[in-house]
């Protein structure tokens, strides 16, 4: 009987769309285990906001100050893609009962800028594939938290990946449409505040790599997020 259940499991997994990306998760296992370990000694109330995603979440050192008066839980890891977070989303959210879950993942479309360290040896996904991956992540989270508001934060226009902005923008628009069509699923648009009058990303909001936000960028980001939260929570 056990063998039968095991064979059924293997069959179901082989048919799962997640299986296509099974090889992309192994390199992040150490990072995810460290984040899970934080859950053993960091305690939060049910009013906390859970942030999951890539390095912009992990590196947000001023998140408590910037997001005040909201309590925050930070569970980001550097270089996260939707192709791997589909495997980890359950593990990142299962130990929490937050007021809302906010997602920022920005590495599935990067362009071919050799100066971008996060682009090497990784193929870009198409906007439609990013959309499918996003839907898979939401379904994974919904298997744990049925009704909690989930909020997707738009991929920010950055100087280092500006050559890929057209494709990134298309993916953003597709994700926004999904969010607008589902209950308790929301979208935070940020592009207008990070693009200047010249039509280019405002460099003063970024650190030297022109990819990650500096303190001023995070402050602006938090203002946009908190403004949207007032209409959601």
Q: Out of 14-23, 87-96, 107-116, 135-144, pick the least confident.
A: 14-23
State the Cα–Cα distance between residues 101 and 195, nearest whole angstrom. Answer: 26
Query: Residue 131: which CATH number?
Result: 3.40.50.1110
pTM tops 0.85:
yes
Domain encompassing residue 114: 27-34+42-232
Residue 156 pLDDT > 60, yes or no? yes
* In the chain, alpha helices (H): 2-15, 29-38, 55-58, 63-66, 82-93, 127-142, 165-181, 191-194, 215-232
* Beta strands across the sheet bearing 150-153: 72-76, 49-53, 100-104, 150-153, 185-188
Confidence (pLDDT) at 18: 57
Q: Say if 79 falls within a structural domain.
A: yes
Confidence (pLDDT) at 93: 96
Q: Say if 54 falls within a structural domain.
A: yes
Q: Say if 72 falls within a structural domain.
A: yes
Q: Say if 227 falls within a structural domain.
A: yes
H/E stretch holding 104: strand 100-104
Confidence (pLDDT) at 155: 98
Residue 55 has φ and ψ, to the nearest 5°, of -65, -25
- Write down the mean pLDDT value for the chain: 88
Q: Say if 207 falls within a structural domain.
A: yes
Q: Say if 179 falls within a structural domain.
A: yes
pLDDT in tens, 31-84: 999 999 999 889 898 899 999 999 999 999 999 999 999 999 999 998 899 988
Confidence (pLDDT) at 120: 46
In the chain, the percentage of residues whose pLDDT exceeds 70 is 85
3-state secondary structure of 52: strand
Confidence (pLDDT) at 31: 93
How many domains does one find in the chain? 1
Q: Say if 212 falls within a structural domain.
A: yes
Confidence (pLDDT) at 16: 53
Q: Say if 19 falls within a structural domain.
A: no
Q: Out of 9-23, 120-134, 152-166, pick the least confident.
A: 9-23
């Amino acid at each position: 009987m056990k063998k039968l259940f095991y064979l059924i499991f293997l069959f179901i997994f082989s048919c799962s769309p997640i299986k296509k990306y099974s090889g992309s998760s192994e390199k992040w296992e150490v990072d995810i285990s460290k984040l899970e370990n934080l859950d053993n000694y960091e305690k939060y109330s049910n009013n906390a906001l859970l942030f999951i995603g890539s390095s912009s979440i992990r590196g947000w050192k001023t998140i408590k100050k910037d997001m005040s008066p909201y309590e925050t839980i930070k569970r980001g890891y550097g270089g996260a893609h939707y192709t791997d977070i589909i495997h980890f989303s359950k593990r990142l959210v299962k130990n929490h009962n937050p007021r809302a879950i906010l997602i920022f993942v920005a590495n599935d479309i990067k362009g071919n800028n050799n100066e971008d360290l996060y682009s090497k040896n990784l193929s870009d996904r198409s906007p439609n594939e990013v959309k499918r991956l996003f839907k898979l992540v939401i379904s994974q989270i919904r298997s744990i938290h049925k009704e909690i508001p989930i909020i997707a934060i738009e991929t920010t226009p950055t100087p280092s990946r500006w050559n890929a902005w057209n494709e990134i923008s298309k993916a953003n628009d597709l994700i926004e449409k999904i969010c607008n069509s589902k209950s308790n699923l929301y979208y935070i648009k940020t592009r207008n505040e990070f693009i200047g009058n010249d039509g280019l990303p405002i460099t003063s909001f970024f650190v030297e790599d022109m990819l990650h936000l500096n303190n001023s960028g995070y402050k602006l980001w938090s203002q946009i997020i908190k403004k949207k939260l007032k209409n959601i929570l």
